[in-house]
């Protein structure tokens, strides 16, 4: 009994200390800032200016499907920067891709370009000192969205302040000179840019110019100046490296950069088709009307629900007349969403859903939340395809990813309009995390995306069907039928079924 009392006292003291240490820091030095107009003689303005002028009130878009091309596009924009660079990401890894990108950002800062880096804080553990070093540059500011105020024990703060810490900024954008931007599903890390032997996320971004850019910049400004975004220095007691330490770090950085020139990934980047098109000035832009839609940063406080992205997407999807293609790696339609999809299918809408199989998913809990909705969707005539796992890189029973895992988030309506962004078809994107994306209206572009997807279905997916009321998986490539979750071992299936018993859907 005495031990129990001592335990309770210790827990009470711990929670008290966490509450005291995690108080909101003062933001007396936080300054508002906004997008900068591009210089007329900047390389990017010279390149895109005439094309934008020829297409007033329209957006030009280039699809970024291949991981190498998607990374080259980011590096090319950063190298062309003359005025400003705004980076906004949910995940930024300190790996080859993350380092290579930030080296280009540092080069731009040295040229006098203003840099604003806004990261969600959930996955920034162990990055504080590096972010502080970056922020010590006269042209670089770094802020974290909805951060932990107790930096050393973030996991504990997640427990004591779950309602706040559970809400994350999932937005992803890179905007240069307020003239061009990249929006889509990719974070910054090797696995998003075809440089990871364990997992390769199949993803999708748009590089755009024209009308949409200004709206993406407006979105960034709103998040940057929100009271949920904190300068990195305010979270770390403003402890920065001394000048001599920064000089030493700079020397080490140069040595690392020189060594990286022989990296195999750099060699692969030089083979990018997009790089050749950029060098030969052969970029082909697709033009059309667009809408930039996003959650307000106040969603992190469960505020301004009337402005949430979900209402924009509902309006967008309700405009379909004939067919809808839904590509979502984390697909949890919920009971209400399933009823809506079934009603639409019964009314004659042709609906196709592409998501990860149990073996291919990198979030087992999401599959647990999704698997129970497959039968009612199939009974309504909705087509479901699940991405195959790489047979040489099967996942563990509990966690981890396969070599190939879907990560793209896109919806295509009537082969005329397309949404590309960070929004997954699940409750977390709808009600918890902040999201953003672009609705782009161009029939030739949208149809090409659908045709490209359809051409790869046989090789890369299983089509689900019902046989005697039970699920089957059709492997068209090998002309076979599978009667259990393909490529997923017993324990992975067991864990998915076990997790499905718990009331976790609202968090998925």
Residues marked as catalytic: 170, 172, 177, 407, 409, 414
| Residue spans of alpha helices (H) in 270-390 | 273-279, 309-317, 334-346, 364-370, 374-379
Residue 266 corresponds to which tokens in the numbers above?
């750099």
Beta carbons of 367 and 330 less than 8 angstroms apart:
no
Write the CB contacts of 427 (distance below 8 Å, at least 6 apart in sequence).
Answer: 332, 334, 505, 506, 507, 508
Place of tokens 């604003």: 116
Distance between first and last Cα of the chain: 39
| Residue spans of alpha helices (H) in 347-418 | 364-370, 374-379
Rg, the chain, Cα only? 24
How many CA atoms lie less than 13 Å away from 334 in the CB half-sphere?
Answer: 16
CA distances to 101, 373, 375, 476 from 467, rounded to whole Å, are 50, 16, 11, 16
Query: Measured between alpha carbons, how far is 426 from 111 in angstroms, rounded to an integer?
Result: 42
């Amino acid at each position: 009994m005495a031990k129990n009392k001592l335990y309770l006292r210790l827990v009470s003291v711990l929670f008290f200390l966490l509450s005291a240490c995690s108080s909101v820091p003062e933001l007396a030095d936080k300054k508002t800032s906004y997008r900068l107009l591009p210089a007329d003689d900047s390389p990017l303005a010279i390149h895109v200016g005439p094309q934008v002028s020829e297409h007033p009130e329209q957006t030009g878009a280039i699809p970024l499907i291949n991981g190498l091309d998607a990374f080259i596009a980011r590096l090319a924009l950063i190298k062309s920067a003359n005025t400003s660079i705004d980076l906004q990401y949910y995940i930024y890894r300190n790996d080859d891709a993350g380092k290579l990108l930030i080296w280009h950002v540092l080069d731009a800062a040295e040229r006098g370009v203003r840099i604003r880096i806004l990261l969600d804080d959930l996955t920034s553990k162990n990055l504080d000192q590096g972010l502080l070093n970056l922020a010590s540059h006269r042209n670089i500011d770094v802020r974290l969205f909805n951060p932990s105020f107790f930096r050393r024990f973030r996991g504990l703060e997640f427990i004591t302040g779950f309602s706040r810490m559970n809400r994350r900024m999932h937005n992803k954008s890179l905007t240069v000179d307020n003239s061009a931007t990249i929006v889509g599903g990719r974070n910054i890390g090797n696995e998003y840019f075809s440089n990871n032997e364990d997992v390769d996320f199949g993803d999708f971004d748009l590089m755009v110019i024209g009308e949409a850019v200004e709206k993406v910049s407006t979105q960034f400004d709103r998040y940057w100046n929100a009271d949920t975004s904190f300068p990195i220095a305010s979270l770390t007691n403003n402890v920065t490296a001394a000048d001599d330490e920064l000089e030493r770090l700079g020397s080490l950085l140069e040595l690392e950069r020189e060594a990286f020139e022989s990296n195999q990934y750099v060699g692969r980047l030089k083979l990018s088709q997009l790089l050749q098109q950029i060098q030969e000035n052969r970029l082909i832009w697709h033009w059309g009307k667009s809408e930039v839609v996003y959650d307000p940063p106040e969603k992190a406080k469960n505020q301004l629900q009337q402005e949430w992205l979900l209402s924009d997407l509902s309006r967008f999807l309700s405009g379909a007349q004939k067919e809808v293609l839904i590509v979502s790696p984390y697909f949890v339609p919920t009971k209400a969403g399933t009823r809506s999809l079934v009603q639409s299918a019964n009314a004659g809408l042709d609906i196709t859903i592409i998501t990860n199989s149990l073996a291919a998913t990198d979030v087992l809990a999401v599959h647990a939340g999704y698997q129970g909705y497959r039968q009612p969707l199939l009974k309504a005539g909705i087509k479901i395809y699940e991405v195959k796992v790489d047979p040489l890189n099967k996942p563990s029973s509990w966690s981890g990813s396969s070599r190939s895992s879907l990560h793209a988030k896109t919806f295509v309506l009537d082969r005329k309009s397309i949404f590309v962004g960070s929004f997954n078809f699940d409750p977390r994107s709808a009600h918890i995390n902040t999201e953003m994306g672009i609705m782009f209206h161009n029939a030739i572009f949208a149809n090409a995306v659908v045709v490209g997807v359809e051409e790869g279905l046989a090789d890369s997916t299983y089509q689900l069907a019902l046989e005697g009321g039970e699920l089957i998986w059709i492997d068209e490539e090998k002309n076979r039928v599978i009667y259990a979750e393909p490529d997923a071992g017993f324990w992975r299936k067991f864990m998915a079924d076990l997790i499905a018993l718990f009331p976790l859907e609202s968090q998925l």
